[in-house]
Homo-oligomer: A and B are copies of this chain.
Amino acid sequence: MRKFGDDSAQLDDRLDGARGGEVGILERSGGGPAGRTLALLWRNRRERTAEAVPPRLGRKPTLDLDAVVTAAIALADVQGLAAASMNGVAKALGVGTMTLYTYVPSKDELLDLMVDQVLGERELPGPGEPRPADWRDQIELYSEQTRAMFRRHPWLARISTIRPPVGPGMLAGREYLLSACAVLGLPARQTNTAALAITTYVDSAAGLEAESEQVERTTGQSNDAWWHERNDLWETYFDVERHPTMTAIWNANGYGDGTREAADESYRFGLDRLLDGIEALTANQS
């Protein structure tokens, strides 16, 4: 990634075309790469800036950005993130590989766009829209929408969430979660950390869940079969004296079966305990 220079005059031109008034977006924003990425992320919310005016001159484009992003997502959903290579996406769209670079500055940027797109797919009520009355039900809604998102797009779990795409999808998700946490009436700082703790757990647990199911599907090997393949572990290497608690839990059947219901129960257990802990703060306050 970003091994070579970062020229991309092509795309600058394209974005200068989408100008709103006298000055192009990139000029107004200093033209940095962050400004360019923001312009792409927020392309569908142009009301606040200006209408996107497509350039009149030159050859007509055969695609648009949405088509590229959508194709990349579809490919990653079905065949895994590795299949969403520039080559793969181009082939799926029936164009040459390099054609994609007319629409997207780099693979990294494409990933950002994919991520924000699917983050925005979650059906979360905006401000003023009807939502569950109870605090926990509001969080539950967030949790279930996020889980469903990860299940639809398991590749999400393999993308780093530090310095994420700051697009409409991500912001809508955060706004909803924060507004749900705000119901508790905690101080602003605690409201934010509570929301942070919840995303940390939900994103991680939902990602693991989705990835696990995906691996079962793509390898055709159930998790049980995978463990069974490691039968040697217990017979040859595992030392009961060194692992008394694991042994005890095993003997008490504490590991559960590998069913989806058991995984679901684990997921909910962790989230419920976390919410219990957060809720307890308000009880002490009043």
CB closest residue in chain B, given A45 = B237
Per the 8 Å Cβ criterion, residues 172-186 of A in contact with B are: 172, 174-175, 178-179, 182
Among the listed B160, B179, B230, which residue makes an inter-chain contact with A38, where contact means beta carbons less than 8 Å apart? Answer: B230
User: Contact: B277 with A273, CB < 8 Å?
Assistant: yes
Which of A62-70, A93-101, A143-151, A252-260 binds B? A252-260
Interface status of A275 (Cβ within 8 A of chain B): yes
Interface status of A274 (Cβ within 8 A of chain B): yes
A174 to B244, CA, bound (A): 11
Min CB gap A20→B, angstroms: 9
User: Contact: B273 with A197, CB < 8 Å?
Assistant: yes
User: Contact: B34 with A256, CB < 8 Å?
Assistant: no
Using A160-B158, A174-B246, A246-B178 as known contacts, say yes or no to A254 and B189 having CB atoms under 8 A apart. yes
* Residues in chain B near residue A32, CB distance under 8 A: 229
Min CB gap A217→B, angstroms: 13
Interface status of A92 (Cβ within 8 A of chain B): no
Per the 8 Å Cβ criterion, residues 197-225 of A in contact with B are: 197, 200-201, 203-205, 208, 211-212, 215, 223
Copies in the complex: 2
User: Contact: A215 with B254, CB < 8 Å?
Assistant: no
Min CB gap A256→B, angstroms: 6
Min CB gap A14→B, angstroms: 17
Total interface residues on A, using CB and 8 Å? 84
* Residues in chain B near residue A191, CB distance under 8 A: 249, 254
A275 to B277, CA, bound (A): 7
Contact with B along A259-286 (1 / 0, CB 8 A): 0000001100110111111101100000
* Residues in chain B near residue A277, CB distance under 8 A: 272-277, 280
Min CB gap A129→B, angstroms: 11
* Residues in chain B near residue A194, CB distance under 8 A: 269, 273
* Residues in chain B near residue A244, CB distance under 8 A: 127, 175, 179
**Most chain B beta-carbon contacts within 10 A, residue among A168, A189, A190:** A189
Show 29 A/B contacts (Cβ-Cβ < 8 Å), sorted by A: A25-B236, A29-B232, A32-B229, A34-B230, A38-B236, A48-B237, A48-B239, A162-B208, A166-B233, A168-B237, A175-B242, A179-B245, A182-B248, A188-B249, A188-B253, A189-B252, A189-B253, A189-B254, A190-B269, A192-B256, A193-B265, A193-B270, A194-B273, A200-B204, A200-B208, A201-B204, A273-B274, A276-B276, A277-B280
